[in-house]
Structure 1
Amino acid sequence: MSADSAMRQVVTDAYAQRRDVWEAAAVRIKAWLKQQQKGLLKDKDISRLDVDGHRIKDPARTLAKLVEKAAEDPGLEITTPREVENHIRDIVGVKVLCKSPRDQTMMFDALRDPQQLGSFVLIDQKNYVDPPKPSGYRACHVTLRIPADQGESVFAEIQVKTRLQDAWGELTHEDMYKPGAAMKPSELHGEFARAMANMLATVDDMADTLAVELSALTNPDLDTELPSEVEDTIEVKVRATGPKYALAVDGDGRQGLIPAFAVRKLSDSKGTIKVSDFVSVDDRLRVTVEEDSKGLYYIPVTLGPTPSPR
């Protein structure tokens, strides 16, 4: 049997013996990540982090990577299924998508914190954001060792990406150019892919800046005072609501934001709140109007909806 045939058989055996264990480990990791998501975003917009499913690497890709490693190291021998896992530690992969780079950094930090990992063990970490790969690929990778209910532990790679970093892979057909895939990148493909990656990274940074600015405008310091005089009020109707603010419209069709700090003051709550817990779509509220160079704000006088006209 040739060396390549022998390696192909070992890979086949590994997948036959361990796939169920890998799948179980992936389910366990996703459940754990969802707990991390809730803990990191307690009382905040939970959609800032999204556990986006898992994959078991295609056997052909695993074989291609092993063949590549053997070509680089002629003395390398892969004779057991466990050796396959020891050399290819991303057979189990889970992806976390983030709204912005700051959320990506927050998640990456949590995945490297021993106090957060519990029985999981950090094996490796790679930051492909600063600097990115030469191809333009950006992501943060963490490799963990996961205890298994049956047999030996499982290695798993968690990829933490912004939504735009993930979209780059789809837009550039990145999957077509990986080891063992059908195509090899041309010079033109490489130039376009890098340019697109840089443009999307700029948009990511802009989105981060906007998110910080919006947070400052809608959820300022806890000691922010509301207007003391409420004689001049109008009625507005809530059109949309979310964690940080609600959007309302007045009788003249002007739209304004109902900020979190104003809702928090009226609710007598401490710390961060979700506006949507107190303000619902189609609520009619009495508000004062505050307008400055940055926007139009409706400051509720009370949280209870006003009676609808008969």
Structure 2
Amino acid sequence: MNGIDPAHAKTLSLQWAMTFAAVVEHGSFTRAADALGVSTARVSRQVGQLEALLGTPLLYRTTRRLNLTEAGQVYFAHCRNWSQWAGAAAQAVRELRDEVAGTVRMTVPTSFGSAFMAQALLAFRARYPQVSVELDLSREPRDLEADGFDLAIRSNLAAPERLVSRPLSLVRDWVVASPALLGDKAPQTPAELTDWPCLANQFFREATHWVFSRDELPYAVDIAPVMQSNNFDMLRNLALAGGGIARLPSYLAIADVEAGRLVRLLPDYRLPALPFYLVYPQRLPQPAKVRAVIDFLLEWFAQAPQRDRLPPAA
């Protein structure tokens, strides 16, 4: 294109390519012109200029239909990708606006999610009705980037360097049993647990080795479980039915203890705290919809009654 500034020529060729793609997608010059809001003559002229620039016909024109030449097929395949990229770029720009909308994908540990996320998501939905959250509950940590998740809640796991990790809460296990199992007796020290039927969570590596602390001194005991399961809800149900003494996260046991369905044992002996984190890929800038979920969850878990069930993380 002699006599035309190179930058302007690049802009024109891109415009012509988009016009050509519109003609192919709509099946005629007239319908493409209507979609683009320009005249049919202008559309025809731009396609002709593109063909002249490329030095080859892109379309076979007949009175009834348009057909792509071999060169036109190849060129249109690339134009179609450009259109998709432009759409993705426009979506990215929209996400940076103040409007919070779209879908956020999140993965959370099973028992933690079952205990908290229904209330959290309903409260979030009330504040941000244009955001849809897809929640995955899983025992195994997902690869956020490979599996397409925007954020996660994880426990006691060091996040990869490419991920941001924000302290969310601490979780302590309680040792509990049903009143029917205890009768008028109860273990007074960790060592006495060996005299009682106990339940273990086999998901954890040292499921039968319970280490307590009191006055900064450790008290370890190896229980001999009568039953094991890899699911906290199952262990809770066994404990409620009098099946044995269970070690449960406080957020799963507190309502039963307050209602008298379970008794908390050894309250003066503390089990180690398990930190929970809000984890998400580092993006600059972070999409508004993801920022909204992050800020909301950090705020929500710091409020009562969540704060009473989960002490804030250090």
TM-score by length of 2: 0.25
User: Is the radius of gyration larger for structure 1 or structure 2?
Assistant: 2
Higher relative contact order (CA 8 A, sep 6+): 2
TM-score by length of 1: 0.25
